[in-house]
Structure 1
Amino acid sequence: MKKNLIVLSSGDGIYFEPIVKKLRNRYNIKLISNTRKAIALQKAIALEVDYEIFDYTDFKSIEEFNNRLFKYMKNENPDLIALDEYNMVLPEYIINYFLKKIIKIHHSLLPSFVDKDPIKEALEYGVKYTGVTIYYANNELKNNEIIAQQIVKIEKEDTLLLLKDKIHKIGQKLYPKVIDKVIRRMEEENNKKVENVNYDVIK
């Protein structure tokens, strides 16, 4: 039976498309967007991927929106939730319920450059290297469990657009690999638990 993967996106879906293309044969993938304006929705339609829209402007408050999103995701029972340019903060009760089942990608080598525009920060600061970090979501960039990182060298000729393109391309390769690795690892751990239970029964 295929595992269930939810991708939460508010924007262009720069990672959604490669995730689908590389993993759709292994997992049931669904896109959830918090805005009808997300280009990721157009990609879902083009790729014939199931999607759901919870436009936050349809709700009386952010709390109501988050409660509706939470109930829906609980019902979907995803094995993993991957955030792709999701522009809202997930409340603690959602993160705690799906503990170690929500992962995010950040465009720097955490814990460096934790602000909203880390690529620009790295370029302006003059560092020689930046990169991509994938980690378990907890809303605290300075205090998180990192799953994977990949270094990107900043060349003298790099402009902001060139550096963004380099980092996005690295992320598009790394994110699907990490998603696959995390789900497979969870499956292995669950299988071990079942084996241990069976062994205890036999004893």
Structure 2
Amino acid sequence: MSLKIAILASGSGTNAQVIFEAVRQKKLDAEICIVLSNRPDAKVLERAENFGLPHCAVDHTLFSSREEYDEKVVEIIKEHGADCVVLAGYMRMVTPFFLASFPERVINIHPAILPSFPGVHGARDAVRYGVKFSGCTVHFVSEEMDAGPIIIQAVTPCLQDDSEQTLQNRIHCLEHKVYVQALQWLAEDRLEIIGHTVHVKGIGKQQAKIVEVKSGDIGMNALIYPPLEIA
């Protein structure tokens, strides 16, 4: 069954564009019902326009509370027929009302290996801490920030001379691989939450997959689990 998704983003929308392209190329069995931003000048709206997708801005500064804002956003999402929400660089915490409106159907991607380094500066915090590995996590959204059940993670080494930007660039490359895969599993109804663990039906005892990640003149292997099934 085709996944009917709303994409929420606050900025450039590079992950959103990867999802646009995956749908167009039929790698992702989904229909993009609405692209919404809380910032009227967000570039993601321009990207949606270029793909001919429905899009709108709902300026959060015009609302008196997070609850009032989310009530309006949920109304718009449902009016457009979406039943799954994809957060792609959406820089707002969603309310319990929002999550209750789409139970176990709100997905986020975070630029760190959760539960380490939650919050808005995952790559920066990893570099400052001096970890040897970082990466990204796709997870279901819960009321606690960056704490929902994990669907898929990708891991890349942190180099000694990495800056926040160089590490973030490699993480972005991984994000573009794993987000579409997680959504395709959801479209295939293959994600099952047991306790706090997400099981992907049908993967058996497959090992983590090694993929090459290139960013600028840097190329290295990264590890992804559960393993990717789409390119």
Q: Report the TM range for the smaller structure's normalisation.
A: 0.7 to 0.9
**Aligned residue number for residue 21 of structure 2:** 21
The 2-side partners of 1:97 and 1:62 are apart by: 15
Q: Structure 1: give runs of 5+ residues left out of the alignment.
A: 188-203
What pairs with 1:164-203 in structure 2 (closer than 5 Å)? Answer: 164-185=168-189
Residue identity in the other structure for 1:14 = T
Contact 2:110 2:146 in 1 (8 A): no
Distance in 2, matches of 1:88 and 1:143, equals 15
Comparing both structures, which one devotes a greater share of its residues to strand? 2
2:141 matches 1:137: yes
Comparing 148-157 with 133-142, which one deviates more in the overlay?
133-142
**Partner letter of residue 115 of structure 2?**
P
Match of 2:52 among 44, 48, 51: 48
Report deviation, 1:60: 4.4
* In structure 2, C-alpha distance between the alignment counterparts of 1:159 and 1:62, rounded to whole Å: 34
1:48-67 matched pairs, under 5 angstroms: 48-67=52-71
Identify the match of residue 154 of structure 1 among 154, 158, 164: 158
Residue type at the aligned position of 2:127: L
Q: 1:2 to 1:111 in 2, by over 3 A?
A: closer
- 1:172 is displaced (CA, Å) by 1.0
Q: Map 1:48-127 to 2 at 5 A.
A: 48-127=52-131
Q: Secondary structure at the match of 2:104?
A: coil
Number of positions where the alignment pairs a residue of Structure 1 with one of Structure 2: 188
Q: CA RMSD in A?
A: 2.1
For the residues of structure 2 that align with 1:133 and 1:173, how far apart are their CA atoms?
11
C-alpha distance in 2, partners of 1:161/1:45?
28
Structure 2 equivalent of residue 7 of structure 1: 7
Equivalent residues of 1:34, 1:55 under 8 A apart: yes
Report the alpha carbon displacement of residue 148 of structure 1 after superposing the two structures with TM: 0.7
Q: Name the one with the larger helix percent.
A: 1
CA displacement, residues 36-86 of structure 1 (integer Å, 9 cap, x when unaligned) = 111101111112222122122333443332211122223334232110111
User: Which residue matches 2:202?
Assistant: none
Q: Name the TM-score, length of structure 2 as normaliser.
A: 0.75
Further displaced range: 126-135 or 28-37:
28-37
User: Which fold has the larger relative contact order, with Cα–Cα distance below 8 Å and residues 6 or more apart in sequence?
Assistant: 1
User: Judging changes above 3 Å, is the alpha-carbon distance between structure 1 residues 169 and 142 closer, same or farther for their aligned structure 2 residues?
Assistant: closer
Partner of 2:167: 163
Q: Aligned equivalents of 1:84 and 1:142: distance in 2?
A: 13
The residue matched to 1:185 in structure 2 has which SS? coil
1:99 Cα deviation from its structure 2 partner: 1.1
Which of the pair has more CA radius of gyration? 1
